[in-house]
Every structure is written in C-alpha cells, then in structure tokens.
Homo-oligomer: A and B are copies of this chain.
Amino acid sequence: MKQIKILAFDVFGTVVDWHGSIKREVEAINLDVDPDAFALAWRAGYAPAMQRVMSGELGWTRIDDLHRIILDEILQAFGVSHLSEEQKVELNLAWHRLDPWPDTVEGLTRLKSRYTICTLSNGNISLLTDMAKRAGLPWDCILSAEVFKAYKPHPDTYLGVAKTFDLEPGEVMLVAAHHNDLAAARECGLKTAYIERPLEYGANHIKDVSPVAGNDFHASSFIDLALQFKTG
C-alpha cells in the first residue's frame, strides 16, 4: 500500500465510544432517564438533523448546534424539564468529552509514524479539538465537515481531503466503523479500511461487524490495522 499518503478517520464510533461516554455523562448528572436509551435517542437524531442541513431546509449548522436541537427534543420526549439553560449547554458539550476506545491512542500513534493522520468527521472543529486534547489523540490535522461546508456522505468531504493535500483520491484512505461511510468514500475513489467496533451501540446492542466486500482492509482495531500495514 505504498501509494497511501493520508489516513482520514471517521470519529464518532470509530475513534471514540460515543454510546458509553454519553451514558456516563447522563449517569453523572443523575438524569432520571434510561442512560442507554437516552444515548441511542440522541445519536439517532444525528443523521436526520444533518439531512435537514444538506437538503437546504437549514442553512449551514454545526454539529454542536444540531446536537442541541436534538437534545431539546429528547429531553421533552424523555419527560425531563428541570434542567437549566446552563446545564443543557454543559450536557451538550458531552460530545466534546467522548472517550477513546482502548486501542485508539496507541493505534493512532503507530499509524502516525508512517502516515499523515487526520480526522474526517461531521463533528465541528472545536468539538474535535477539545476531544483530541482531552483524550490525547495525536492528529496531524483536524479536518471536518465544517471546513468543507458539507456533511458526509457528500463527495465534497472525501474529495476535500484529497484536494486539501494535493493528492489523488486513491492516495487517501478512509478508516471507519460504518459501511455506508466507506462505500461513499469508495465511490469517490478513496481506499477504505473497516474497523470492527461491536460495542458502538453498547453491550446490549452488539453490532454485526462481519466483513463486507469492497474494503481494502478489515481490522479488529487500530493496532491490528497498523500491524496489517506493516506486514502488508
């Protein structure tokens, strides 16, 4: 794989454990809800919210603001009405405090020694920066939908990485735990690596992580991916 120059990483679910982290935050403030269901509901609002932006119904809106719109909806749905504005702002920032998977920091560090590693996330720049600083994620560069003013799976995001670094699409590899993200990247000519994250939706909702045809790599962790590169 000599021609790969940059590894671009999906973040939510691939690099960090959003479900476990949101659950932890909800538990920490003793919100009287099922933390598992609350985390899943918050995340479930994510794709439809981005769709409202990409369809033009909403102007460009960052994930922080979309997360807040969804939060207000689910707080109502879960019957929570006692939070102050300040508490809601703080809870919304839970997405800046997501924990990495156990292999993330070591795996990224290994991969960074051979490639330029960047984010390609729908998360906004400040979210990704705060997360990286807190979790010690050693990105060479933080790229975001916010830079390209388009959300994945829009081609402008995948091709945007290649353009930013003056590369051919085939010199960029997307690393992600989601097949739809990888498929869209592949259609743009990027290389793809699938990472198994069976616990993305929590221990009660194990995700099928079987290999799917079309990906250049299929790895159980970032460390496994680094080892495959080394021996590949």
Contacts and interface: CB of A to CB of B under 8 A. Distances in A.
Interface of A: 64, 116, 118, 124-126, 128-130, 132-133, 140-143, 146-147, 164-166
A126 B64 contact: no
Contacts of A143: 125
Given A132-B140, A142-B142, A165 B116 contact: no
B141 A129 contact: yes
A124 B118 CA distance: 15
Contact of A116 (B133, B147, B164): B133
Contacts of A128: 141
A130 B116 CA distance: 8
B64 A166 contact: yes
Contact of A125 (B64, B124, B129, B141): B141
A129 B133 contact: no
Nearest to A142: B141
10 contacts: A64-B166, A116-B129, A125-B147, A126-B164, A126-B165, A126-B166, A128-B141, A129-B140, A129-B165, A147-B147
Nearest to A167: B126
Contacts of A125: 141, 143, 147, 164-165
A138 B175 CA distance: 23
Nearest to A126: B165
Contacts of A133: 116, 140
A128 B164 CA distance: 11
Contacts of A164: 124-126, 146
Contacts of A142: 141-142
Nearest to A112: B133
